[in-house]
Structure 1
Amino acid sequence: MNWLRLILNLTLLLLFAACSDQQKNGVSPATIASVNAGQDITVIEGVAFTLNAEVYPAGGVISWVQTQGPAIEEFPEEPAATMELITPTVNVDSTLTFEITYTSIDGQQVKDSVNVFVTNKNSAPVAIIKASNTELPPYNTYDIVTLTGEDSYDIDGEIREYQWRQVDSNAPLSFTTEKNDVAVSFEAPLVATLTNYKLQLTVIDNFEAAQSNIYDVQISAAGVSIAANAGDDREVDEFTLVLLDGTNSVATNSDYSCLWTQTSGTDVTINDSATCNANFIAPDVDSEEVLIFKLTVTDTLNNNGSDSVSITVGPLNLGLLHDTGVTECYDNTGQIDCGADEFPSQDAEHGRDSVYQVLDKSGTGSQSFDFTKFDVNGDEIENDNEVFSCVRDNFTGLIWEVKAQIAVPQFSTLRGAENYYSYDDTAVGSSSCSSSVSCGVDTYVNSVNTATFCGGANWRVPTYMELLSIINYNDTDQDFLLDSELFRYHPNRTTLGHKFYWTSDEGAEGGGGFQWVLDLSTGDDSVILPSKSAYIMLVRTP
């Protein structure tokens, strides 16, 4: 009990002391100032709301200030405990914070704050369509009509996407620009009567709100009931597949048929000429040439119209030499179609061999090779002539000796395919050729020139590149890599163990003194001593 009495006395003493201090400062507990800004609220943008504060004691000065969020326009200059305000326009949900300061009559100053959560209410964009054409509607057939949505807007964001579409029941328009551009263009179609087309524009803002608008486009009646459209003029390379498209032709009364004819330029074969989608292979040209094709369209009422298209054909840079003769493509296991992504840029995909099937040859030959046959006097003869003595390479202009068949007895004819020679004069006469003087290269060249073989006396040993240019590498399984229809006769490989043919180029391997040869059974090259044996095939320049 004594302890309880002691604690009670101490508590009363402290309370008495506190009251005494407040009274000394002139503030009694009954007059302590306070302010309450109220509860946080949530409102939609652009909507009125009320700030309602409670103060104590009354009679003091109130001051409001916004401390956070988008500013409210026309904030009251003389704020009161209760204020009516309008939430600002916001692009995203935002928080506004307001702080109130209350100063009582006796100078006490207290503060409090309240949050106003403003919810964004997205406004849809406005779609506006206008025509940018200078001429007034109705538009004539084939006028280019351009509609733009550039004046469309969004008051609380930005337009992110434009979508155009035709919303009438007429035949579809052909747009020449993308349908998601701010503007679209199309060619006014051929119509039999005044026709109204409806184009709808939908604009979408950054909050995916959308709004649409429709614009009417009037097209005048055409003076004809059918119109042919052969397409745009083009430039193409020789040997390429060229498509002729008449599907953009129009008939107002019925379906129509198409017929393509050529009216100018080197004649070509038009495939599917009686259809609207025809094609042809661009011809072999030496310089640019213009081919003109006429399209005639006819409807079921026998009305017709026509249009023409120009195709300019340019030459490809295929070089002045034969190609390798390789016309097939391969992968790791066997033959494949050329152009495969896994095994690209193969030999057969480039140069003359890639277009050999459509080359315009003046002579004959396999793949891209082109030779003209000559008789023993050097006069041109027909490609199908089976008796000939030499051939002209129509790419290089060089004239090549064609060897005679293997003689019986062996080595008994001047130009027999079995004859072989040393490049110098070390090979004795009659040992491997018909000459009793020497089986050297010079002796053979002189003998052929003395005979004015094929009307020429300037025969010589070919260079390395000249002989290489007529090798056909398309089938290395062959025993002889020259065109078998033209170079019919060649030696037996077992005689020398190779089919080396001399060239006039010296080799520097081993310190010099060697001569280049090409093996016409394998396509390989090598260098050998001039005293060694090899075969020969002469060439001359006309």
Structure 2
Amino acid sequence: MNANVTFKTGVKSALITLSFSTMALLSACGGGGDSASQNAEVPNTAAPTNTTTTTGGTTATPKTFTKYNLSGAPYVAGGIDTVGCVKDNVTGLTWEVKTDEAANQTPTFRDKDFGYEWRSTSGGVVGTKAVASGAAATNVNGRCQSATGLINCDTQDYINAVNAAGLCGYQNWRLPTTSELLGLIDASKTAAPYIYADLGSTSFDPETQGSSVRGYWASDVNSANAAQHAGVSFSLKTGNRAQWHSASYNYVRLVRSGN
């Protein structure tokens, strides 16, 4: 079923045609999908690029990132430090680096494979939740992992928990916009995940899954339907995959602005 909706990017609004399909979304840790959730694939959107102009023309310039440990001090390789975040030296944005239990790291609620519903209380339209308000965080159906500071399995409580922990010494972490997420795509890579390696472990699905590919939640809201929100998948070089329904379980990578 095709439907025209107005999609807000935070910069300007554009009318796009979305093709919705009902399918089962598996949770990040396996099992427990939401068969009523809807996915939508948006038209190709070129990822922002950093370019260098020479006498031979304009070419893409790889981004560079500065790594910081969990307390916000410069990361020292080869020691006991763990990278907690990286700063994009082009945009100035600082990005969360996910934990990865599969790489023998201590399991936390920030693991790259855990999925969360979309919910926000910071202005705009509040996203709907698929679990009862106030329900305790559990590992039911593998949706998320309970941890100190985490109350519910949704993006708002994820943000609250990360800010309470003071990741990299900051307490102003937020969901990124789709444009900010697209800026992390490394088009020079020849295989998924199509994201700069400095961002660390990143979950991705085989591109052959088509609209079943899950994405990383963005803050963008579909003004035509309060229950639909955007996401970007690094399983695809174009990143043009949107997981719309707020009751879907998708990945989270937070960002912060400023020094």
Q: Same fold (TM over 0.5)?
A: yes
| 2:165 is equivalent to residue 451 of structure 1 | yes
Whole-Å Cα distance in 2 between the matches of residues 527 and 454 of structure 1?
A: 29
SS of the residue aligned with 2:218?
Answer: strand
TM-score of the superposition, structure 1-length normalised?
0.31
Give the whole-Å Cα distance in 1 for the aligned partners of 2:84 and 2:104.
21
Q: Secondary structure at the match of 1:448?
A: helix
Q: Is the 8 A contact 1:515 1:530 kept in 2?
A: yes
Q: Give 1:472's aligned residue.
A: 186
After superposition, the Cα gap between the structure-2 partners of 1:374 and 1:409, relative to the gap in structure 1 and judged at 3 Å, is closer
Q: Name 1:506's counterpart in structure 2.
A: 221
- Percent of residue pairs bearing the same amino acid type: 28
How many angstroms apart in 1 are the aligned matches of 2:105 and 2:84? 20
Aligned-partner Cα distance in 1 for 2:165–2:172 = 11
Query: Which residue in the other structure is 1:372 paired with?
Result: 66
* Mapped pair 1:416 → 2:124: no
Q: CA deviation at 1:513?
A: 3.3
Q: Which residue of 1 aligns with 2:58?
A: 350
Q: Where is the strand percentage greater, Structure 1 or Structure 2?
A: 1
CA displacement, residues 84-107 of structure 1 (integer Å, 9 cap, x when unaligned): xxxxxxxxxxxxxxxxxxxxxxxx
Q: Find the counterpart in structure 1 of residue 40 from structure 2.
A: none
SS of equivalent residue, structure 1 residue 350:
strand
Aligned with 1:420: secondary structure?
A: coil
Q: In the aligned structure 2, how far is the partner of 1:478 from the partner of 1:325?
A: 20
Q: Given the two structures, how large is their TM-score scaled by the length of structure 2?
A: 0.61
Instruction: Report how far residue 325 of structure 1 moved.
Output: 7.0
SS in 2 for 1:493: coil
Shift of 1:411: 10
Question: Structure 2: any 5+ residue segments left out of the alignment?
Answer: 1-46, 120-128, 132-136
CA distance in 1, matches of 2:83, 2:94: 13
Structure 2 counterpart of 1:515, one-letter code:
H
| Contact persistence 2:213–2:233 (CA under 8 A) | yes
Could you tell me how far 1:457 is from its partner in structure 2?
0.8
Residue aligning to 1:526: 242
Change in CA separation of 1:404 and 1:410 when aligned onto 2, cut-off 3 Å? closer
RMSD value, Cα: 3.4
Equivalents in 2 of 1:384, 1:324: separation in Å? 31
Compared CA separation, residues 520 and 465, structure 1 to 2 (3 A): same
1:540 has 2:256 as partner:
yes
Structure 1 SS opposite 2:199: coil
- Note the C-alpha offset of 1:323: 5.1
Gaps of 5+ in 1: 1-321, 328-337, 340-348, 357-366
Counting only pairs closer than 5 Å after superposition, residues 328-339 of structure 1 correspond to structure 2 as none
Structure 1 residue 375: Cα displacement: 1.1
Deviation at 1:508, TM superposition (A): 3.8
One-letter code aligned to 2:67: K
Q: What's the counterpart of residue 389 of structure 1?
A: 84
Query: In the aligned structure 2, how far is the partner of 1:455 from the partner of 1:411?
Result: 20
Say which of 438, 461, 464 aligns to 2:175.
Answer: 461
Seen in structure 2, the aligned counterparts of structure 1 residues 373 and 442 have a Cα distance that, compared at 3 Å, is same
1:141 corresponds to which residue?
A: none
Report the secondary structure of 1:389's partner residue.
Answer: strand
2:130 aligned to 402, 422, 426, which one? 426
Once residues 389 and 402 of structure 1 are traced to their aligned partners in structure 2, the CA distance between those partners, rounded to angstroms, is: 5
The equivalent of 1:157 in structure 2 is none
Q: Distance in 2 between matches of 1:380 and 1:403?
A: 17
Asked if residue 403 in structure 1 is aligned to residue 67 in structure 2, the reply is no
- The 3 A distance-change label for structure 1 pair 418 and 410 is farther
- The residue type equivalent to 2:145 in the other structure is S
Match of 2:194 among 474, 481, 497: 481
Deviation per residue, 1:199-257 (Å, 9 max, x gap): xxxxxxxxxxxxxxxxxxxxxxxxxxxxxxxxxxxxxxxxxxxxxxxxxxxxxxxxxxx
Q: Deviations over 1:477-497 (max 9, x none)?
A: 42111112x123122527994
Q: Which amino acid aligns with 2:49?
A: T
Residues 48-197 of structure 1: matches in 2 within 5 Å? none
Distance in 1 (alpha carbons) for counterparts of 2:144 and 2:76 = 32
Deviation at 1:408, TM superposition (A): 8.7
Structure 1 residue 429: Cα displacement: 3.0
Distance 1:499 1:411 in 2: 24
Please say if residues 326 and 473 of structure 1, whose CA atoms lie closer than 8 Å, have aligned partners that are also in contact. no
Number of the residue aligned with 2:231: 517
Structure 2 CA distance for aligned equivalents of residues 507 and 433 of structure 1: 25
Q: Partners of 1:534 and 1:513 in 2: how far apart? A: 14
Aligned residue-pair number: 185
CA distance 1:472–1:324, change in 2 (3 Å): farther
Task: Please tell me whether Structure 1 or Structure 2 has the larger radius of gyration of its CA atoms.
Answer: 1
Q: Tell whether the 8 Å contact from 1:460 to 1:538 is kept in structure 2 after alignment.
A: yes
